[in-house]
Structure 1
Amino acid sequence: MFGFSEEQIAAFGLSVGLGSFMLYMLFIVGQLAWESKAGKLGTFVIFLGLAFGMLGFVAKYLIQWALNIE
């Protein structure tokens, strides 16, 4: 498709597509904290609880980049 292999399309979708979805999820978590008037500590707890799972994906991507693993 357009001269790209299936592996290249999947890698693009995983990095850019999922990355943009994660940014949207952070926006939603921030909006939730704003509307609930959680305060600084409450906002931190909300982000820690709801967005902590994304840290693993980001760490995996950074480790692969640092070690030049494809």
Structure 2
Amino acid sequence: MSVETFETWSLAIGITALIAYMAYIVWDLAKKSDAGKFGTMVLFAALGMGAAGFVIKAVLVETLGV
């Protein structure tokens, strides 16, 4: 396995794990603070926008070859 392949896989796995961990933190925060359904939805929407930004960036980089 080349270094480039290892770095690509490590980045994908690491970011996925980090996003999953952040989702757990947001869920725990919403539960402990009694945020309600709307508050929990807003918290996850903010996390989702960050995750979507990362995915969109990756797609654009692959598509445009930058």
Could you tell me which amino acid in structure 1 is paired with residue 38 of structure 2? L
The percentage of aligned residue pairs carrying the same residue is 38
CA RMSD of aligned residues (A): 1.9
From 6, 29, 32, the equivalent of 2:29 is 32
Runs of 4+ in 1 over 4 A off after TM superposition: none
Is structure 2 residue 37 aligned with structure 1 residue 15?
Answer: no
Q: If the length of structure 1 is used for normalisation, what is the TM-score?
A: 0.72
CA distance in 1, matches of 2:30, 2:20: 15
1:58 shift after superposition: 2.9
**Count of residues in Structure 1 that have an aligned counterpart in Structure 2:** 62
Structure with a larger share of its residues in helix: 2
Structure 2 gaps of 5+ residues are none
